[in-house]
Amino acid sequence: MAYKVLISAVAKKDLIWLPVPVGKAICRELSTLAGETNPKIHVKKLKGSSEPSFYSLRVGDYRVILTITNAVMIIHVIETGNRSPVYCQY
């Protein structure tokens, strides 16, 4: 059973401003991740994050900050961006 990917308004805005090849790569990686039976093995858990836990998906020099909810099989994309500034809030 596949996970459903929800993209927040902030993440949609971030994706629009990214270079087109990077945006396509991120979308491709998210769809691949959604098809996995255990997507948590392909992402890095961020230290210091409480409930819900935040994870980072690496796509080249860019990072996708997301949460994974197993009970309802949802991957919620919080933010996307270059690896340096995207970690500041998480």
Domains of the chain (ranges; CATH) run 4-86 (3.30.2310.20)
**In this predicted structure, what is the pLDDT of residue 72?**
79
Q: Is the pLDDT of residue 71 over 90?
A: no
Compute the average pLDDT of residues 5-24: 90
What lies within 8 Å, CB to CB, of 11 at 6+ separation is 64, 77, 78, 79, 80
The answer on pLDDT for 80 being more than 70 is yes
Segment 23-33, tens digit of pLDDT? 999 999 999 99
